Structure 1
Amino acid sequence: MTTQHDLSRTGATDRPRNGAVRPRTHAVPRPNEGLWPGLATPPAAPVKARIAESLFRNAVRNLPVRVVFPGGERIGAGGPDAPVMRIERPGAFFARLGADSKIGFGESYMVGDWTTTDLPGLLTPFAAKLSTLIPPALQRVARRWVEARQPREEVNSLEGSRENIHRHYDLSNDLFALFLDDTMSYSSAWFADGSDDLVLAQERKIDGVLDMAGVRSGMHVLEIGTGWGGLATRAAQRGARVTTLTLSQEQKELAEARLAEAGVADRVQVLLRDYREAQGSYDAVVSVEMVEAVGVAYWPTYFAALDRLLKPGGRVGLQAITMPHDRMVVSKDDYTWIHKYVFPGGIIPSVTSIEQNLAADTTLHIAERRSLGFDYARTLGHWRERFLDRRCDVQALGFDETFRRMWEFYLGYCEAGFRVGYLDVFQFSLQRRPSF
């Protein structure tokens, strides 16, 4: 296992399961191997660091938080019960923030430049003011001249998608099992009133998607994005036959084992296949939180595939994370901490962008929708608590402290976004537009 002293190593190659060597053309973190290229050393950019410090101080002055510096200096408008951010190494923190704020803020948490005892509570006020923390003019300058752009090899071509999925979903089935519930659902749950039972909420979510697609006995259902087989199992238990697609070998193997354990393996076929390679015609199509991994350039292809694969009279059950359209438009080309460390190649759509793509490239429209945004905040809270409770188990799997802080930041960062409504998630029923 790699130690902190190894953080600046860069691997020139990576060897996938088929034995072929993939060249590394940029510094790619490999969390499951403990490789964090360049992370150990803060950028040497004193002018940018001073600018970042000035902007940060101005931004937090009116936020309901308390920021504490070494020596006791405090800034922020938070009272005694407000979340506290302790900046342990101000020089390194502002250097990372100045180099690229969209990446440096998370990286500085990963290495301990700052700490807090309430990560989602601290990040929530930042998320609520995300679009105004930095003046718009400076945001435009940063996007053009300072901030990183998406590496070419992370674009979601057929080959790029496989690599992007591999980097996240093939980390370790055992890792995901530590913080997910018994259904192994890695998407928003849907809680019933008065209930905080995550398993019941996930089953309710799955049934909600299947209902949106009208799945019933005797149907042949296509699922795009297998996960670990929870939805396919439920659809088969309804009496449907399921073909489900994944790009993750790790997920395929565990999904097949879980399907066999549930006694429905004879009704479900798991294929290691991209949605662009899918063939056939299906009574219903379902896809849960997969569109976020497609990329703007491939949205037309993705939605056209839903249309192409659906039989006349069929319906699509789609669950998708969304963000406000204006924010999506200005940030769609950004390369952020989430891209670098968690979801390479990802982009969250807006409801408007989904509607536009459906209108332009399909015969489908949104016939029904429901929002689960606050349910996602609760779901992420469950995941984060389970992950923190099992930190020793995560360590035993071979993941280092940098990874554990990275994953904690990822879960807390997302929870904050859903808490304030900066992010939402919808279940949609897509049906063919009526012809007049």
Structure 2
Amino acid sequence: MSTSLSRPNVADDTGLWPDVVRRPEVSRLRTAVAERLVRRALVRLPLYVRFGAGETVGLGGPLLEVHDPDAFFRRIAAGGLIGFGESHQAGEWDAPDLVGVLTVLAQNAADLVPASLQRLRGLWAARQPTALRNTPEGARANIQRHYDLSNDLFALFLDETMTYSSAVFRGFPAEWPLLAAAQQRKIDRLLDLAAVGEGTRLLEIGTGWGELAIGAARRGARVTSLTLSAEQRDLANERIRAAGLGNLINVELCDYREATGRYDAVVSVEMVEAVGEEFWPVYFKALDDRLAPGGRAVVQAITMPHERMVASRDTYTWIQKYIFPGGLLPSTEAIEQVTADCTSLRIARRDGYGAHYAETLRLWRERFSERADAVAALGFDEVFRRMWTFYLAYSEAGFRSGYLDVQQFVLTREGAL
């Protein structure tokens, strides 16, 4: 799919996008250094990069068109990858194949910044603001900034299951009519791994819009589901009532740290990414504490390479600033270490589905673009629409490149399986 190369109108009378509308003040020297580093990286990549009206660099490949080179380099000088994303929001660069360009960059992420500068990352890279820490109060605010945007917004690009996590397809390429079935397949697989059936006491950490809880209740389980999003809770309850399962499911506006009781199974789908490294021990201990003897915890998580996680764990990113405040993707090694150090749980099984997430994101991105007018009708301006398209493309590229994976972990106590 191609994205439009038209320049957006970034006039912002509401103050929503101050760092997009306002070009950063940065010294000529710093801008010149940034330009030299960026050009040095781009000439070695399989991209076709065009600056302004004429100059081109790169080895050939997807087109990255820089409309305003001065603003582009100035933003990168001031904000690194945050500036790169904001420059796209402002329409200073674009790409007919945005996913293709971002996939090339993701494939070469470890080498874009010279090793000497990587070692000095703490001196030049912005650090995560302490205000985004996922304390009980901070986590509520962070979750609400994303999931309480609008149920109607999410409904425009999700399928009828309202499932906002990776599907599991039978084959590729996937088509939109198959997405709901692929989401049900993913949910059934998670419930099977957790051995959910008649009479199971299930705790779900991270409700979404209720589809997994509904699937578990249809098997005869009694479900307690936790969320910090009032918007999600309200719509999940509507969907649960419509399914006639209100007697088996209780959706609570509750932090995982406040959960009580013991359960035969605990399932948490793409929730750990929002917890923050500081609180991973607390999160996994909560799973351990809530799990009855002989029970299973099943966690679906987006993961990244351990060395990249270590290198970037303290860095403030574009995704954290605009999409998921306070978030950090774990590595498999980090999950293994924290469960070994802080819980009685061990990984009994894990399966990766990164290619399936790439397809899921492609379908969401295409649907979002097709319904751009409906998104605008909800009150979301052009900068938001470019931001959201960039987020979906950026995420898809991470999975297409292999930089990201999504995995299902089965956690048990020794001898439980």
TM-score by length of 2: 0.95
**Are positions 1:52 and 2:34 aligned together?**
yes
Contact 1:245-1:273 at 8 Å conserved across structures: yes
CA shift, 1:263, in A, is 1.7
Contact 1:8-1:38 at 8 Å conserved across structures: no
CA distance in 1: counterparts of 2:224 and 2:163, whole angstroms: 18
CA distance in 2: counterparts of 1:203 and 1:254, whole angstroms: 19
**Are positions 1:145 and 2:127 aligned together?**
no
Q: State the match for 1:84 in structure 2.
A: 63
- Secondary structure of the structure 2 residue equivalent to 1:334: coil
Contact 1:8-1:40 at 8 Å conserved across structures: no
CA shift, 1:40, in A, is 1.1
Amino acid at match of 2:243: A
- Secondary structure of the structure 1 residue equivalent to 2:350: strand
CA distance in 2: counterparts of 1:105 and 1:149, whole angstroms: 17
CA distance in 1: counterparts of 2:213 and 2:271, whole angstroms: 15
Find 2:147's aligned residue among 166, 169, 172.
169
CA shift, 1:195, in A, is 7.3
Unaligned runs of 5+ in 1: 10-34
**Are positions 1:361 and 2:342 aligned together?**
yes
CA shift, 1:7, in A, is 6.1
CA shift, 1:194, in A, is 5.8
- Secondary structure of the structure 1 residue equivalent to 2:409: strand
Partner deviation per Cα, 1:226-278 (whole Å, 9 max, x = no partner): 00001001001111010000000000000000111122122100000000000
Q: State the match for 2:274 in structure 1.
A: 293
CA distance in 2: counterparts of 1:257 and 1:42, whole angstroms: 44
Q: State the match for 1:16 in structure 2.
A: none
Contact 2:19-2:86 at 8 Å conserved across structures: no
Q: State the match for 2:24 in structure 1.
A: 43
CA shift, 1:50, in A, is 1.1
Amino acid at match of 2:125: E
Contact 1:52-1:94 at 8 Å conserved across structures: yes
Distance 1:60 1:146, change over 3 A: same
Contact 1:66-1:84 at 8 Å conserved across structures: yes
Identity percentage of aligned residues? 56
Amino acid at match of 1:192: R
Partner deviation per Cα, 1:359-385 (whole Å, 9 max, x = no partner): 111111111111011100011000100
Aligned length: 404
CA shift, 1:173, in A, is 0.4
**Are positions 1:126 and 2:105 aligned together?**
yes
- Secondary structure of the structure 2 residue equivalent to 1:39: helix
TM-score by length of 1: 0.91
CA shift, 1:433, in A, is 1.6
**Are positions 1:184 and 2:168 aligned together?**
no
Partner deviation per Cα, 1:81-110 (whole Å, 9 max, x = no partner): x31111011111000001121201110000
Unaligned runs of 5+ in 2: 1-8
CA shift, 1:140, in A, is 3.0
Contact 1:102-1:147 at 8 Å conserved across structures: no
Contact 1:96-1:104 at 8 Å conserved across structures: yes
Q: State the match for 2:194 in structure 1.
A: 213
Segment drifting more, 132-141 vs 181-190: 132-141
Q: State the match for 2:56 in structure 1.
A: 74
Q: State the match for 1:22 in structure 2.
A: none
Partner deviation per Cα, 1:48-90 (whole Å, 9 max, x = no partner): 2111111111111121111112221111101xxx311110111
CA distance in 1: counterparts of 2:29 and 2:214, whole angstroms: 56
Q: State the match for 1:262 in structure 2.
A: 243
Contact 1:67-1:86 at 8 Å conserved across structures: yes
- Secondary structure of the structure 1 residue equivalent to 2:213: helix
Q: State the match for 2:74 in structure 1.
A: 95
Could you say what the CA RMSD is over the residues aligned between the two structures, in angstroms?
1.3
Contact 1:7-1:40 at 8 Å conserved across structures: no
* Matches for 1:302-313 after TM superposition, within 5 Å: 302-313=283-294
Find 2:388's aligned residue among 386, 403, 407.
407
- Secondary structure of the structure 2 residue equivalent to 1:181: coil
CA shift, 1:5, in A, is 3.4
- Secondary structure of the structure 1 residue equivalent to 2:160: coil
Q: State the match for 1:432 in structure 2.
A: 413
Q: State the match for 1:284 in structure 2.
A: 265
Find 1:204's aligned residue among 182, 185, 190.
185
CA distance in 2: counterparts of 1:328 and 1:194, whole angstroms: 29
Contact 2:173-2:359 at 8 Å conserved across structures: no
Q: State the match for 1:6 in structure 2.
A: 12
Structure 1 moving runs of 4+ over 6 Å: none
Amino acid at match of 1:63: L
**Are positions 1:395 and 2:395 aligned together?**
no
